[in-house]
Amino acid sequence: MFHQYFPICVALVVLVAGDNGNETTSDPKPSTKLPLVTTTSTPYTPSKDPITNLYALKSQDGNYCIMVKAALRLGFQYKNPDDKDLFGYVDIPGEKNGTLVTGNCSVVNNAQVLILKFLNNWSMNFTFKQNTTLKEYNLESISIKYDIQHNNQPFPDAKSLNGETTFAMEDGHVKVLGSYMCFSQRVFNINSNSSEKLGLMNLTTINEQYQAFVNVSEIFFSQAVKRCDQDSVSNLIPIVVGAALCALIVLVLVAYLIGRHHKRGYESV
Ligand SMILES: *[C@@H]1O[C@H](CO)[C@@H](O)[C@H](O)[C@H]1NC(C)=O
Ligand SMILES: *[C@@H]1O[C@H](CO)[C@@H](O)[C@H](O)[C@H]1NC(C)=O
Ligand SMILES: *[C@@H]1O[C@H](CO)[C@@H](O)[C@H](O)[C@H]1NC(C)=O
Ligand SMILES: *[C@@H]1O[C@H](CO)[C@@H](O)[C@H](O)[C@H]1NC(C)=O
Ligand SMILES: *[C@@H]1O[C@H](CO)[C@@H](O)[C@H](O)[C@H]1NC(C)=O
Ligand SMILES: *[C@@H]1O[C@H](CO)[C@@H](O)[C@H](O)[C@H]1NC(C)=O
Ligand SMILES: *[C@@H]1O[C@H](CO)[C@@H](O)[C@H](O)[C@H]1NC(C)=O
Ligand SMILES: *[C@@H]1O[C@H](CO)[C@@H](O)[C@H](O)[C@H]1NC(C)=O
Ligand SMILES: *[C@@H]1O[C@H](CO)[C@@H](O)[C@H](O)[C@H]1NC(C)=O
């Protein structure tokens, strides 16, 4: 009667061992093949929930060198023409909704940059830096340029406001040919204007995965993944559940075996 519980126990142990939120050293073979996206132009419309998009930068030889997958949401504090304080979010659209993926695959000063252009004159730059000695790289910084215009998307009710903010990322270093992953929601607080609480306030990322300094003909992320701390915390739940379940099964099995042993003992008398 217990044999049916063992696969569950084994599966949980495998799941927990294989997904412990740490860097795995499996070889970087193609894993998740993602559909290619084509560019058409449709007007920008803000959504209720951020949509996960894939942005991949192609080099001149037709291979991909940087891939970023994420749902990206920017929070803005702004004023209307009557100086009333307002707050709103802008989701970075996908390529099908008008975002242009540009940049340069060439490595300059050990850096590679992916640029997203969206709305009117808005941009978001991802700067990746490699360390050739340690064979590692990291997402060094994100730079955001915004241009809120009255009577224009995304906040037609706003008084015009523009600015540019660069902030450092603390994701840590990834082995070259590996990728970084963070499924958890993260909110980066950015106060782009120290003199006044105005402009870009925060960046929310969900379902994030990125890889730079690659040269691949198809879009896939390496399975050698470095996970963020936030993902590790959520992984503690299956560890606890799995351990408790296994302990219970072992306990019941031991009790059953002892019981059977005793029974057999009486029978043989
Ligand atoms: C993750 O790996 C690093 C080094 O590879 C090690 O120092 C650390 O203790 C590991 N963390 C966990 C939670 O296993
Ligand atoms: C474009 O954006 C809208 C709303 O934000 C969303 O519903 C739709 O799925 C997006 N289209 C594509 C092709 O991503
Ligand atoms: C990319 O950068 C290299 C090196 O700086 C430069 O020679 C090349 O023209 C750039 N390409 C584009 C498309 O900007
Ligand atoms: C974008 O910026 C350029 C120069 O900075 C400007 O000439 C142009 O009008 C802007 N476009 C929009 C739609 O704001
Ligand atoms: C690479 O990392 C090593 C060790 O941390 C450091 O000494 C070196 O300056 C780094 N190289 C670059 C180009 O950042
Ligand atoms: C992004 O990079 C491009 C090209 O290097 C640069 O012209 C632009 O100012 C950058 N934008 C931001 C927001 O850093
Ligand atoms: C910062 O606030 C000042 C005062 O309201 C304003 O003039 C300036 O344009 C703001 N800068 C940015 C980048 O939002
Ligand atoms: C972004 O900042 C605004 C203003 O400080 C705040 O109200 C909002 O909750 C923040 N967004 C997130 C997702 O934390
Ligand atoms: C990328 O790989 C192609 C072959 O698939 C090769 O021709 C090209 O030179 C490589 N580019 C870089 C920057 O290594």
Angle between helices 6-18 and 229-268 (to 10 degrees): 150
The pair of three-digit structure tokens given for residue 260, joined into one six-digit string: 């059977």
Give me the CATH number covering residue 86: 2.40.160.110
Instruction: Identify the domain containing residue 9 by its residue range.
Output: 1-30+229-269
Q: Looking at the structure, tell me whether residues 14 and 116 fall in a common domain.
A: no
Q: Looking at the structure, tell me whether residues 135 and 175 fall in a common domain.
A: yes
Q: Looking at the structure, tell me whether residues 71 and 58 fall in a common domain.
A: yes
Ligand 9, atom nearest to 105 Cα: 13
The pair of three-digit structure tokens given for residue 106, joined into one six-digit string: 């060439």
Identify the pLDDT of residue 250: 80
| CA–CA dist 51, 33 (Å, integer) | 19
Listed in sequence order, the residues at least 6 apart from 45 whose beta carbon sits closer than 8 Å to its beta carbon are 97
Ligand nearest to the CA of 16: 1
Q: Looking at the structure, tell me whether residues 242 and 210 fall in a common domain.
A: no
Q: How many CA atoms lie within 13 A of 45 on its CB side?
A: 6
| CA–CA dist 44, 29 (Å, integer) | 36
Is residue 45 lining ligand 2, measured as CB closer than 6 Å? yes
Q: Looking at the structure, tell me whether residues 205 and 118 fall in a common domain.
A: yes
Q: Looking at the structure, tell me whether residues 199 and 79 fall in a common domain.
A: yes
Q: Looking at the structure, tell me whether residues 106 and 140 fall in a common domain.
A: yes
Q: Looking at the structure, tell me whether residues 250 and 222 fall in a common domain.
A: no
Identify the pLDDT of residue 193: 66
- Number of domain units in the chain: 2
Identify the pLDDT of residue 20: 42
Q: Looking at the structure, tell me whether residues 167 and 55 fall in a common domain.
A: yes
Q: Which residues pair with 33 in a beta bridge?
A: 220
Q: In the chain, what's the furthest Cα-to-Cα distance?
A: 97
pTM of the complete model:
0.73
Q: Looking at the structure, tell me whether residues 143 and 267 fall in a common domain.
A: no
Last residue of a domain, one of 227, 242, 261: 227
Q: Looking at the structure, tell me whether residues 211 and 99 fall in a common domain.
A: yes
Ligand 4, atom nearest to 147 Cα: 14
For the chain, 269 residues long, give each residue's pLDDT as a single digit of tens.
445 444 445 444 444 444 444 444 333 333 333 333 333 333 344 456 789 999 999 999 999 999 999 999 999 999 999 999 999 999 999 999 999 999 999 999 999 999 999 998 999 999 999 999 999 999 999 999 999 999 999 999 999 999 999 999 989 999 999 999 999 999 999 876 667 789 999 999 999 999 999 999 999 999 999 999 888 765 556 666 667 777 888 888 888 888 887 776 665 54
Q: How far is the CA of 122 from the centre of ligand 6 (A)?
A: 10
Collapsing DSSP states into helix, strand and coil, what is residue 190? coil
Q: Looking at the structure, tell me whether residues 235 and 119 fall in a common domain.
A: no
Is residue 14 lining ligand 5, measured as CB closer than 6 Å? no
Identify the pLDDT of residue 14: 41
